[in-house]
Amino acid sequence: MLLVTVPVYGLELGASPLMLGVILSSQYLLPFLLAIPLGGVVARHGGRITLVAGAFVMTAGLLLMQVLPGYYGLIGGQLLIGLAHLQMVLSAQTIISSLATGPKLESYFGWYATWLSGGQVVGPLLAGGWIHWAGGVDNL
């Protein structure tokens, strides 16, 4: 849902194309810098606890966008959400890889990818409809 909400909110703030690029790319900065160390954290502590930690970081990113309106909150939230997303994906893949072997494991990863893709189809549609119905991001 953030795939639609974040750029619409940025445009509502009056973001230039350059600023919109900064806002959208900020979600990928921390994963780019911390992917390898974060993989080590997941390997050391396991997928379950790091998945829950990722959910808390995701929540913190969303809350930051709410309590700190404007560009600072939007970029700060994007930074945390990107880090949380990477952590949760690594954690989920670690958990799934421990569930089975062979064809059963392939099936589990297939279903995981299917549900992720389904969410990526439905989420933006819901967000776009919700923003349209509310009359803008500020009215959500």
Give 60: exposed, middle or buried? Use CB within 10 Å, 0-12, 13-18, 19+: middle
Whether the Cβ atoms of residue 83 and residue 34 lie closer than 8 Å to each other: yes
Question: 91 vs 9, 22, 50, 59, 107, CA distance in Å?
Answer: 30, 27, 6, 17, 18
Give the pTM: 0.90
Domain total in the chain = 1
Q: How confident is the model at residue 28 (pLDDT cuts 50, 70, 90)?
A: very high
Residue 140, pLDDT above cutoff 90: no
Distance from C-alpha of 82 to C-alpha of 65, rounded to nearest angstrom: 13
- What pLDDT, in 10s, does the model give residues 78-100? 999 999 999 999 999 999 999 99
Helix (H) or strand (E) holding 60: helix 47-67
Residue 46, domain extent:
2-139
Q: What is the pLDDT of residue 138?
A: 79
